[in-house]
Amino acid sequence: MKNICICGQLTEEGTTLCPRCEALHILGLGMEGLEYDIRSAYRLLVKVWHPDHFQDDPKLKEAAETKLKDIHAAFDYLTMTSTDRGHAQRPVYLSTKLAPAPPPNVEPDTPAFSARKARIAFALIPDAAPPQGIWQKIKARPQKVMLVLKEIYKVQGKVKLILTIAAVLVVLLTGGLIWRSSRMHYSASRQSGQNLSFQEKIKQEMRSMDPRSPAPKANAPASGPQTGQPLPQTAHTAAHPAQPATIKLKPYVTVGSTRDEVLAQQGTPTASSEDKLVYGTSELYLKDGRVVGWRIDPFSSPIRVKLWPQSPVDPDQEFFTVNSSKDEVLVVQGTPTKFSEDKFEYGDSVVNFRNNRVVNWKNDPGSVPLRAR
């Protein structure tokens, strides 16, 4: 009979944690551990459990080598791609027996290297004799390293608390400014009598961002006020000819954006060709000088892109399912990180289409979870 892990996944018989939560447990992390936490915990544990710290005690050195192998195995499993992780075997850890999973109402241990594990690591190192010579000083070095790491951990805890308080204050101030701005915009919209439907708003935003849309006509007449004759050219207008139009920056890169608009908004690319602009690990695909698609890495090289619905869709829809349209998927899931005629990709999650209707999907909760049912 299979059990249920604390993250909600089914586990194998005789186990209480899924392979991912088990690997996070080996590194001293909770189930919400991010990539930065995983790499930080891995680097710290490798330094603490390095066998060179236990040269004087063969048993402790052997235990440290076993522990280090488990740390490497857990790290390798967590840094695999979702495809490789699906085909990989469950790692076997030899150095420790996992404790029972905590009840659902207990918050799991989240620091990269908790104080409790630090005390256990200190207890494993024997007390060194008072340094009297060169050999005694060398033997005492592991204890000094551990003491330094312990002090660093204490300082980092205080720094994290201060940074958290500062981040909360910034979020509150930013939220207040956004709320006031939205209220002013709402009041102005009501006074001007603007009451657009959802689809009209989408079309209006698409027209404002489409570089091929015609420019608004000037209010000033091009001829005389009453005669209908062209205005005479003065010396001032002859000396100052019309300036070329400047590129107006838009908040998003979308299908139809020109190469010049992308360069003005994103700056110089790391690589470019006639049909591609590369920014780090993100790519924009061009045809005839306009954007026709993209592949975005939202973590290391984010680019603000937007794909708009082409038909009326309920904006309050929360899920999509089989036979849903592409526009419904866009409203529920947002702009994909990569797309084609028959596929939307959200990180490692994929939604497949046939005749613009959903036929199936592959959900990767570790990347971008799909809101499908």
Supply the DSSP symbol for 350: E
What 3-state DSSP class applies to 96? coil
> pLDDT digit of tens for each residue in the chain (373 aa)?
567 777 777 777 777 888 888 888 888 888 777 888 899 999 999 999 998 888 888 888 988 899 999 999 989 988 888 788 778 888 888 765 544 444 444 444 444 444 444 444 444 444 334 444 544 555 455 656 666 666 776 677 777 788 889 898 999 889 888 987 777 766 655 555 444 454 565 556 555 555 445 544 444 444 444 444 554 554 444 455 555 556 666 678 888 889 988 888 888 899 989 899 999 889 899 999 899 888 898 777 788 888 878 888 888 888 899 999 989 998 898 899 988 888 999 988 999 999 989 999 999 888 889 989 8
* Cβ atoms < 10 Å from Cβ of 356: 13
Residues ≥6 apart with Cβ < 8 Å to 126: 56, 57, 60
Give how far Cα 18 sits from Cα of 31, 70, 87, 124, 321, Å. Answer: 10, 16, 15, 29, 27
Q: How many CA atoms lie within 13 A of 222 on its CB side?
A: 2
Residues ≥6 apart with Cβ < 8 Å to 35: 79, 299
Please indicate, yes or no, whether the overall pTM of this predicted structure exceeds 0.75.
Answer: no
CB 75 within 8 A of CB 24: no
Helices vs. strands in the chain: H and E counts, helices first: 10, 12
| Cα distance between residue 367 and residue 333, in whole Å | 13
Q: Which two tokens stand for residue 260?
A: 């010049």
Q: Which two tokens stand for residue 241?
A: 């000819």
| Cα distance between residue 98 and residue 22, in whole Å | 8
